[in-house]
Amino acid sequence: MILVTGGAGFIGANFILDWLAASQEPVLNLDKLTYAGNLETLASLAGDARHTFVQGDIGDSALLGRLLTQHQPRAVINFAAESHVDRSIHGPAEFIQTNIVGSFNLLEAVRSYWNGLEGDAKSAFRFLHVSTDEVYGSLGPGEAAFSETHRYEPNSPYSASKAASDHLVRAWHHTYGLPVITTNCSNNYGPFHFPEKLIPLMIVNALAGKPLPVYGDGMQVRDWLYVKDHCSAIREVLARGRQGQTYNVGGWNEKPNIEIVQTVCALLNELRPKADGSRYEAQISYVKDRPGHDRRYAIDARKLEKELGWKPAETFESGIRKTVEWYLANPDWVAHVQSGAYRDWVQTQYAAQEAA
């Protein structure tokens, strides 16, 4: 069995679905079920004995101790995190609590459990910490992509809290010998993505006839990684990655935000044309840039390819088409995650923005 924390979130839930599609090994899923945790994503696993869900917090040391002792997982994969930059700017305290204090409590519970293992079970155990490329800061237009040895320069409360968690994981390996591996990924996209992030927000707003808010000049560059490719990379790192190492996971798809929005609009024009013949691009609205907005991220994933033979299976063109098609085919899922709390958040974040 493996223990997955944050397994009702976007990446965690996709990972569990992919894992159980390819393996009979059971998954224990621990998730706090904050606004972005959604068990409806895992509805296809209802009644599947391989999936056990527990609602709980990685900050709950007693609960973690009980779960580890009872289920005896061979690995822990930590997806649990607050992850939205804009939310971290408006309310950083939750990010400090979950991403730093929560990670510390999880590491301590896992260390205690691991110390009690013996023989092959102890030597085979792994703690895999899933992190982000945002810990590296921002790149200039001509600078080389982030490698695993790039200096940490986080610029938002979110990325600073994730950087802190990465440092804790590293320290627990070097100080206590805990067998850890860290992955730092670029921007994920794909099915089941909560519609506060760029791509699903654009799809949902476009279909609803709402403005498509683009920060600043829209030329902020990100590397885009299809979520199922990310899941396959994590499986490879868990199976064959070297303990104590960091592996960057990227899609080799650097694109400015405005190009992403225009691509989504073009696909919607093709797949769900408006009855009046107008085009979705007309809904694009430039808004005031957010504070401290990083200009460019780019991931150098050659270490992962060289050591483990991993490459993304999707191009951006194939992945974004699959993503738009999924949202068009699953309006009920989208409607259900758009709770009153989510609508209030969008109103707070974007409605008050002044036009750039």
Euclidean distance between the first and final Cα of the chain, in Å?
A: 51
Bridge partners, 181 (sequence order): 128
Active-site residue identified among 31, 57, 82, 133: 133
pLDDT, tens digit, 9 for 90 and up, residues 94-153 = 999 999 999 999 999 999 999 999 999 999 999 999 999 999 999 998 899 999 999 999
243 pLDDT above the threshold of 60: yes
351 burial (CB, 10 Å; 0-12 / 13-18 / 19+) is exposed
Residue-level pLDDT at 294: 85
Active-site residue identified among 86, 134, 196, 229: 134
pLDDT, tens digit, 9 for 90 and up, residues 261-308 = 999 999 999 999 999 999 999 999 999 987 878 899 999 999 999 999
134 catalytically annotated: yes
Active-site residue identified among 31, 82, 148, 158: 158
Check if the beta carbon of residue 20 is closer than 8 Å to that of residue 48: yes
Where is pLDDT greater, at 195 or 133? Answer: 133
Other C-beta atoms within 10 Å of 250: how many?
27
Sign of the Cα pseudo-torsion (150, 153, 159, 161, in order): positive
Q: How confident is the model at residue 159 (pLDDT cuts 50, 70, 90)?
A: very high
CATH class entry, domain 2-188+224-251+296-313: alpha beta
Residue-level pLDDT at 88: 84
Model pTM score: 0.92
Check if the beta carbon of residue 187 is closer than 8 Å to that of residue 132: no
158 catalytically annotated: yes
User: Which residue, among 295, 79, 334, 315, has the nearest Cα to 201 in the 3D structure?
Assistant: 334
332 catalytically annotated: no
Query: In degrees to the nearest 10, what's the CA dihedral of 317, 322, 323, 324?
Result: 90
CA 113 remoteness from chain centre: 26
Mean confidence (pLDDT) of the chain: 93
Rounded distance between C-alpha atoms, residue 253 and residue 222, angstroms = 8
